[in-house]
Amino acid sequence: MLKCLKRNGFRRLQASVRAMPSQLPRSSIFFRNNSSEGKPPSSSGSPSANPPSPSSTTSADKSQAHPVSIPNTDALQDANTGVVRRMSFKKPLRAIFEVGGNLSVVAVMLLLHSLFSYKYVTPLNVPQKERKTLVILGSGWGAISLLRDIDPSSFNIVLVSPRDYFLFTPLLPSCTVGTLQTTSIIDPLPWIIRGYSNGLKYHQAECKSVDPKSKTITIGSAPSAPDTEESVIHYDYLVTAVGAENQTFGIEGVKKYGHFLKEAGDAEKIKLKIVEILQELRFNKALSKDDVDRLSHIVVVGGGPTGAEFAAEMQDFIDEDIQECYPDVHPHLHVSLIEASPNILAMFTKSLIDYTRALFKKMHIKVMTKAVVKDVSKDSLAVEFVNAAGGKSISQIPYGLLVWAAGIKARPITMQMISTVPEQKGARKGLLVDEYLAVKGMSDVYAIGDCAFSGLAATAQVAHQQGEALAINLNVLAKQDSLQRELESLHRISHSEKVDDRIAAIENELLHMSVKPFAYRHQGALAYIGDDKAVAEMHLPFMKKTIPISGTLTYYFWRMVYLFELISTKTRVSVLFNWLTTRLFGRSLTNL
């Protein structure tokens, strides 16, 4: 596959032009056609016309081996129409426009980011021995937002996380098919905390238990840090932002045979599995028809943003790159999206849900709603369907790749904390918190992000805002402690007019200083749905309404927002460069 991907750009473009018939219209050279006219002619096993049910077979003999031929990929020409398929230098004028447009967008975004995103916090410069110890668990959205807004001169900060980087999870589905490189959406923790040299310690470890009575945590080894010795850390304030883990609903085969999409390593495993499937389909001539049908079926369980975006990215990859590098395999590949509820992307308005389903149908992504997975085996999964009359039936659906994005559940450390205090009795989804994000029943313990249950959705947007709000409140607590210490010292010295004025000023400041309850501000929602299209809900607070938008312009808006939300210039430039190289030369998907 690497050889195929390297044979791109102008070299393959020139070869294809030389192979074209003289009467071919010039406008057809770079025409990117995702409609039915641009699909290969319908044949047995092809999902191009009407996608077959996942368990259906074609009229071909099932015992017949799948013939595989290796065509000349320098100039691929449709045998029926004579039209040369789209080469990897996709629509040069559009690509040039995107280069200039994206560079302009990123320049504007960097300028706006430098002007408005920086929140200056006046450092208290509390002496080291007087600082309270703030322990932060995790390195996700909540923890990093907290770190970026906390006053590092007010606390002795201890960061504990088995993962030594921050992962920009909204773009993780793009990494599974090579649209983006995984390293492009990662910011190493040493880089993030480089300005915290005075009073920050980092432990690459996993928190094993929390004792709220003694105000201690026990940390130990993690898969990413197997040599970490067990130790105990005391805290004055504890913030748990450990996130959540994948929900499997007790189906044992999910962990054994499925692929999750929550961490950077998950994206890499999916990428390698896709390469393995493509090579098996192309080079194994002993495959039976049943084997081909099974391997060619990519099944996604979970119709939320992660599942829908992966399905869209996978279908883009099939239509744009696999069609070029694996033209004999391309007609067999198809994607199915399984969702237990009546709708995919249920958090969006009905108009956007309908738009997404219509586009998925056009792209030949099979959507199965009201479908509950009951069992997962090595080669198939049992799915229970509910028909319009309320009847239930179970079907076996074969698959070559199973991606599981069907929700989250609390991590073991979260469940351990829940079990320690009676105020958390009955909590299942996460730690119960009050309006100040304080954990109920635990003194000086806070929870943010997916590990906290506050009635809000488990999204990056919520975790980000919670981290910012908690940082502000902790800074206020540190300021109160500092003023209280100063007030006590002033009371111990002989009074004078100057001292009395300072005492009065401090008391007045303390009187008007308080922490604020967390108030979530919904800023909208975004999802990429394939074919250079996206859906979004733009929240307009001044109008007190949410506007649904969709289409190609929304896709560029989606890109602009995520370029802005990336937390470093390094990741912004890397993501932009990946997008441009993908547009010009295709995706990079190898088993290196």
How buried is residue 498: exposed, middle or buried, by Cβ count under 10 Å (0-12/13-18/19+)?
exposed
Three-state DSSP at 260 gives: strand
Tokens of 397: 């659906």
Give 72's Cβ-side CA count (13 Å radius).
10
> How big is the CA angle at 157 (ends 152 and 163), to the nearest 5 degrees?
115
Q: What is the pLDDT of residue 173?
A: 98
Three-state DSSP at 510 gives: helix
Alpha helices in 84-150, H assignment, sequence order: 92-116, 141-149
> What residues does 452 pair with on adjacent strands?
431
Q: pTM of the prediction?
A: 0.82
The answer to which of 4-8, 207-211, 359-363 has the lowest mean pLDDT is 4-8
What whole-number distance in Å separates Cα of residue 504 and Cα of residue 486? 12
Residue 16 has pLDDT above 50, yes or no: no
Residue 63 has pLDDT above 80, yes or no: no
Q: What is the pLDDT of residue 543?
A: 76
Give 67's Cβ-side CA count (13 Å radius).
4
Please tell me which residue, 266 or 488, carries the higher pLDDT value.
266
Architecture of domain 123-164+204-246+408-485: 3-Layer(bba) Sandwich (3.50)
**Which percentage of the chain shows pLDDT scores above 90?**
66
Question: Contact 492/171 with Cβ under 8 angstroms?
Answer: no
User: Which own/partner pairs from 275-279 qualify as long-range (CB within 8 Å, at least 24 positions apart)?
Assistant: 275/1, 275/589, 275/590, 275/591, 276/591, 277/400, 277/401, 278/1, 278/322, 278/326, 278/329, 279/1, 279/591
Please tell me which residue, 199 or 58, carries the higher pLDDT value.
199
Question: Contact 152/196 with Cβ under 8 angstroms?
Answer: yes
Three-state DSSP at 485 gives: helix
Most confident by average pLDDT, 114-118, 171-175, 190-194, 225-229: 171-175
> How big is the CA angle at 149 (ends 145 and 152), to the nearest 5 degrees?
120
First to last CA, the chain: 11
pLDDT in tens, 255-289: 999 999 999 999 999 999 999 999 999 999 999 99
What whole-number distance in Å separates Cα of residue 108 and Cα of residue 141? 24
Q: What is the pLDDT of residue 390?
A: 83
pLDDT band at 73 (very low <50, low <70, confident <90, very high): very low
Where is 149: in which H helix or E strand?
helix 141-149
Please state, in angstroms and as integers, the Cα–Cα distance from residue 317 to each residue in 179, 248, 544, following that order: 8, 27, 39
> What residues does 216 pair with on adjacent strands?
211, 234
Per the prediction, the chain carries an average pLDDT of 84
Share of the chain residues as helix, strand and coil, in percent rounded to the nearest 5: 40, 20, 40
Tokens of 132: 């309270």
Domain covering 2-94+249-406+526-585, topology: FAD/NAD(P)-binding domain (3.50.50)
How buried is residue 53: exposed, middle or buried, by Cβ count under 10 Å (0-12/13-18/19+)?
exposed
Please state, in angstroms and as integers, the Cα–Cα distance from residue 533 to each residue in 103, 147, 267, 555, following that order: 20, 34, 22, 5
What whole-number distance in Å separates Cα of residue 136 and Cα of residue 161? 8
Mean per-residue pLDDT for 521-550? 92
Phi, psi of 345 (to 5 degrees): 45, 50
Taking Cα atoms as reference points, which of 501, 504, 500, 520 lies closest to residue 512? 504
Alpha helices in 150-263, H assignment, sequence order: 172-175, 189-192, 252-257
Q: What is the pLDDT of residue 30?
A: 29
Where is 216: in which H helix or E strand?
strand 216-220
Question: Contact 384/372 with Cβ under 8 angstroms?
Answer: yes
Q: What is the pLDDT of residue 122?
A: 64
> How big is the CA angle at 362 (ends 356 and 364), to the nearest 5 degrees?
100
Give, as one character, the DSSP assignment of residue 477.
H
The answer to which of 60-64, 266-270, 290-294, 338-342 has the lowest mean pLDDT is 60-64
Q: What is the pLDDT of residue 209?
A: 97
Tokens of 287: 């495959």
What whole-number distance in Å separates Cα of residue 306 and Cα of residue 259? 13
Question: Contact 564/112 with Cβ under 8 angstroms?
Answer: yes
What whole-number distance in Å separates Cα of residue 112 and Cα of residue 106? 10
Where is 509: in which H helix or E strand?
helix 497-511
pLDDT band at 126 (very low <50, low <70, confident <90, very high): confident
Q: What is the pLDDT of residue 542?
A: 76
Taking Cα atoms as reference points, which of 118, 143, 159, 138 lies closest to residue 463? 143
Mean per-residue pLDDT for 550-571? 93
The answer to which of 19-23, 146-150, 233-237, 554-558 has the lowest mean pLDDT is 19-23
Q: What is the pLDDT of residue 39?
A: 40
Q: 408-410 and 334-338: which strand pairing?
A: unpaired
3-state secondary structure 319-383: HHHHHHHCCCCHHHCEEEEECCCCCCCCCCCHHHHHHHHHHHHHHCEEEECCEEEEEECCCEEEE
Residue 471 has pLDDT above 60, yes or no: yes
Please state, in angstroms and as integers, the Cα–Cα distance from residue 369 to each residue in 128, 313, 383, 539, following that order: 57, 20, 11, 28
* Positive/negative CA dihedral, 585, 586, 591, 592: positive
Mean per-residue pLDDT for 540-546? 81
Question: Contact 12/289 with Cβ under 8 angstroms?
Answer: no
pLDDT in tens, 404-415: 999 999 999 999
Q: What is the pLDDT of residue 197?
A: 62
Quick count: other Cβ atoms within 10 Å of Cβ 268?
13
Q: Give me the residue label for tokens 């589905």.
A: 173
Phi, psi of 237 (to 5 degrees): -130, 140
pLDDT band at 479 (very low <50, low <70, confident <90, very high): very high
Taking Cα atoms as reference points, which of 346, 335, 362 lies closest to residue 270? 335
pLDDT in tens, 432-461: 999 999 999 999 999 999 999 989 999 999
Tokens of 447: 């929870």
Quick count: other Cβ atoms within 10 Å of Cβ 562?
20
Hey, where are the domains in the chain? 2-94+249-406+526-585, 123-164+204-246+408-485
The whole-angstrom distance between residue 274's C-alpha and the CA centroid of its chain comes to 19
